[in-house]
Structure 1
Amino acid sequence: MTNTDAFDAPLTLDPDAVLLLIDVQKGFEDHEFWGPRDNPQAEQRMAELIAAWQATGRPVVTVQHASTAGPLVEGTPGYELKDFVADVTPALHITKTVNSAFYGTPDLHAWLRERGARQLVVTGIITNVCNETTARMAGNLGYDAIFPTDAMHAFDMTGPDGTTLPAAELARATATVLHAMRFAKVVTTEQVLDAAEA
């Protein structure tokens, strides 16, 4: 099977496929700081994936971002994980200060290699920042990255020319690039849930 065929084939999941929950933190509820978001169902989709992973005994990895300023500063209420994620007992918990979950503590890449895991289902916040960066790195490192775009969300962002792009447009661009350049298999939560039950 060629690389292109693998991305276009129906989704299948390994028994040890890892669910990665990136930066699902209370500080992202500060809309005065972040601005408008897309996909109000993102948290519900993440919760559905958590339930499926717990039911099938697959590993869940949580990631938490520690900023030096803004709503995600360690020790502040915004740093804390949202309740539905805080209630999860993860196989691994990573803290990081940059975009990629592969540059955190403990080392995600080392942990995955030790387990022999090759599939990562990337979810969380923000679609076109930490999620996209992690998915790109996963693809570069040889992992099978799976990107359910309805289990994450983005925020509106303003570019250098002063134009503000809506969150949904930014999320669509991320999905397009990841798919077209074969960094990740872009899917829906329903597709992942179907594969998890198969």
Structure 2
Amino acid sequence: MLPALQGTLHASLAVARPFLPAQLRPELTLGQLTATLTPTRATLTLDHTQYLQQPLGLNAQLTWTNGLTASGLLTHPGTRLRFAYDAQALDVSGPLSALALRPFTAGLGPLSGSIQTSLHLPNLSLEQASGSARFDLRSAAQSAAGTLRLAQGQLSGQLATSIGGSRMPFRERSAGCSVRARSRWATCAYRTARAAPPRSS
């Protein structure tokens, strides 16, 4: 059916609001999705859509001649997330700005900086996922810095954060359940153990 379609379609995004996380609903102004169709592909863009009162952009391509593939770029001030999907894997990479995290960091004060992300998801399976997240977040007197890596569902790396009122370096221990750090915003899909503080000489 899709290869026979041509032209431009517009669809309101308002119908997606009930499916969004509760923290995001009041922060999003949902506009419309525009799809420009040819017999072999579709170009998708967002119009009149804002997140945190700033433009949220999408420029994506879908093709279906040899199976469904998608690629594109999601943008917001300080955030540029590139993505690509085919029958084998989903890949996402790029900087995620502190601004984009604001609904999830309420009460911590203004944050600046970003998280540089990279995720490879074979067969959309979290157990096979690999990637990394390089943190460089700062507030007036606090920070979170370091790199976490994901390989075959196993998390490793070092992240030292004082955001939320306590300095808390941590390292990997094993996979399997969520981390609840004393820092109120810091959660992770894998169990970690806090590193012992350095001994004073």
- The answer to whether the superposition gives a TM-score over 0.5 is no
**Which structure dedicates a bigger proportion of its chain to helix?**
1
TM range (shorter): under 0.3
Select the structure of larger CA radius of gyration.
2
Q: TM-score, with normalisation over the residues of structure 1?
A: 0.26
Higher relative contact order (CA 8 A, sep 6+): 1
Structure with the bigger percentage of strand? 2
TM-score, structure 2 length as denominator? Answer: 0.26
